[in-house]
A and B are shown apart, each in its own frame.
Chain A
Amino acid sequence: MRPDLDIAHEPGVAKPDPVLTIDGMRRAFGGLMAVDIAHLEIQRNTITSLIGPNGAGKTTLFNLLTGFDTPDAGHYSLDERLLVGIPAYRVAQHGMVRTFQLTKVLPRLTVIDNMLVAAKTQPGATFRGAILGGWHSAERQNREQAMDILQRFGLAAMTNEYAGSLSGGQRKLLEMARALMVKPTVVMLDEPTAGVNPVLIQSLLEHVKDLRESGMTVLFVEHDMDVVQSISDWVVVLAEGHVIAEGPPTVIARNPAVIEAYLGKHRGEDVD
């Protein structure tokens, strides 16, 4: 499904079938307003990029949406379920999973254990379940699913290696693969291509597209404009905590407000 390109290209525009809706969300650090978003909708089953200059509030917004930080005001809902103020692990259980700018694999666990930790249905993951036993059939199913995903991400050969022995790019892939074990509806990727060698970037982006093909919604922060242009359905531009523009990537690239935010206000003017 492609996004409806007929909708207006303006900040806070209403979209058909939004999966994520943000309202009046504000977060200040001391005197600095890091995030101040009046209204923002993320359309279901699209790849939406979140871009903006350094310090625009992208990662703060990610933290607010995933329960790693609490907003000073405002709320947001996932699938019409209000999520604000609940802890990070509950946000994940509700179907919104994130990755991190600095990749967080579990180094002294094997690749397969990294995957299995994230498994959504596993009665043996509770203390009582571990004592009583009877979790082995769930484990078998989860392992099968994990092997499937690892195969797709080209990590099957590394199944029993410690995650700490993987290369930077492989860690990014593992983190993304692991997120899928939670069976999310929304996947939030914080700079998935940072520090990944150019050869691997293409295959990584194919995986991001696959997420959309299999029905998920992807929201990702990215700095590389070529990447943004090539795979986003929709681009949201943040600057100084505000949404200053949104629209399809080709339109955003020509938007004067965006160019101004990236390059400065007085471009081309004489300096006294």
Chain B
Amino acid sequence: MDWLQILAAGVLATIGPITAGYALSAIGLNLQFGYAGLLNFGHVAFMLVGAYGTAMTVEFGGPLWLGLIVGIVSAVLLGLLLGIPTLRLRADYFAITSIAAAEVIRLVVRSSWAQPWTGGVFGIQGFADDFHQLNPFPTAELYGFGQFVVTGRSLWVMMVGWALVILATLFVARLIRSPWGRVLTAIREDEDATRSLGKNVFAYKLQALMIGGGIASLAGILFALDQQSIYPAGFEPRITFIVFVMVILGGAGSIWGALLGAAVFNFLFFATDSMMARLQANVDWIGAILSPAEAGLIKYVLVGIALMLLMVFRPQGLLRSRAEGRADAS
């Protein structure tokens, strides 16, 4: 049993582009859910629109930089279109309509009708060459030490991804620490009270949905650039709920919580994945009762147990204060 290898699997996933992407998505959702209290169950749609906006622009002959702008702007517009009819609804109805809207978008994108533009179920591949040409590191070179190595290709995506994460976090921090952010938090606490104090609750919620959506589109774009391949199955509703878990884990409504939640979640997820694969292969009695595919599913069980323990012992998340948690309960 090589514990170092298991640790390396966890650490590499945690510092890799996947975690950076999830962290971006979580930062966007944290603004919507953690601060404004919006139960946005269609969050993955913003990632989809970002990724497809970028890929389709390149596919139709546009430059990559234009694709990035199209991706982000489309996601912000999606926030506007989704928000205008639904944000006046009660929180639970908004949750239902947002998940439905996200599924409608995904199903339209994967339909054979849309195949000439979106590639249907096969998606779009090989649209980010321009991005990888900018890479200052030799692609095949290995960086790091011992088990902890990444290729030059990954290193480039990681650097861009984490730079975006830091920028997005600082942007949200500036907003949240302003009076605008205070109104947003007030809306989460009590919509009617905030309304009675002369604040246009609807406009604030719409702004939060649009800005959070724009940040989440960066997550979709980062995944697309990293993998050079997007397809509708990568944007199923479970992505939304994984991001929710990350936000709650880190502490909904704390500025660094989204980033920490994404990192902790992915570490647990990939380390247990690596551990179960090894146990299945090397320990006889485990190999006898679990097939490799079944061992692969255990990670979901372990992550679930870890989350339950967290909810029991630290329901306010890793980064929020205990006093704040108590104030909520009373």
A-to-B contact residues, CB < 8 Å: 66, 68, 87-90, 92-93, 97-100, 104-109, 113-114, 116-120, 122, 124-127, 129-131, 133, 135, 139, 162-165, 178-179, 181-182
Indicate if the CB atoms of B201 and A117 lie closer than 8 Å. no
Chain B contacts with A in 276-327, Cβ cutoff 8 A = 323-324, 326-327
- Contact partner of B326 (CB less than 8 A), chosen from A122, A130, A164, is A164
Q: A17: shortest Cβ distance to chain B, in Å? A: 25
Query: When A104-B190, A106-B189, A127-B207 are in contact, do A92 and B196 touch as well, CB less than 8 Å?
Result: yes
B132 at the interface (CB under 8 A from A): no
Indicate if the CB atoms of A118 and B189 lie closer than 8 Å. no
- Contact partner of A162 (CB less than 8 A), chosen from B178, B190, B192, B324, is B324
B180 at the interface (CB under 8 A from A): yes
- Contact partner of A125 (CB less than 8 A), chosen from B183, B192, B326, is B183
Indicate if the CB atoms of A100 and B196 lie closer than 8 Å. yes
Residues of B near A104 (CB, < 8 A) are 190, 192-193, 196
A-B contact count (CB 8 A): 123
Query: When A92-B197, A108-B328 are in contact, do A116 and B179 touch as well, CB less than 8 Å?
Result: yes
B250 at the interface (CB under 8 A from A): no
Q: A119: shortest Cβ distance to chain B, in Å? A: 8
Indicate if the CB atoms of A178 and B197 lie closer than 8 Å. yes
What band does the interface of chain B fall in when counting residues whose beta carbon is under 8 Å from A? 20 to 34
B238 at the interface (CB under 8 A from A): no
Besides A89-B196, A164-B327, 14 other A-B contacts (C-beta < 8 A): A89-B198, A92-B197, A99-B196, A107-B189, A107-B330, A117-B197, A120-B198, A124-B178, A127-B175, A130-B180, A139-B179, A162-B323, A164-B329, A165-B326
Residues of B near A98 (CB, < 8 A) are 196
Query: When A106-B186, A122-B179, A135-B179 are in contact, do A117 and B323 touch as well, CB less than 8 Å?
Result: no
Indicate if the CB atoms of A93 and B192 lie closer than 8 Å. no
Give 6 CB contacts A-B under 8 Å. A97-B197, A106-B194, A109-B185, A109-B186, A117-B179, A125-B179
Residues of A near B174 (CB, < 8 A) are 130-131
| B-side interface mostly | helix
Query: When A68-B192, A109-B182, A135-B179 are in contact, do A164 and B330 touch as well, CB less than 8 Å?
Result: yes
Residues of A near B232 (CB, < 8 A) are none
B112 at the interface (CB under 8 A from A): no
- Bound Cα distance from A105 to B186, whole angstroms: 9
Residues of A near B153 (CB, < 8 A) are none
- Bound Cα distance from A181 to B199, whole angstroms: 13
B181 at the interface (CB under 8 A from A): yes
Indicate if the CB atoms of A100 and B193 lie closer than 8 Å. yes
- Bound Cα distance from A7 to B8, whole angstroms: 86
Residues of A near B199 (CB, < 8 A) are 89, 117, 125
B151 at the interface (CB under 8 A from A): no
Q: B197: shortest Cβ distance to chain A, in Å? A: 4
B253: nearest chain-A partner, CB-CB:
A108
Indicate if the CB atoms of A107 and B327 lie closer than 8 Å. yes
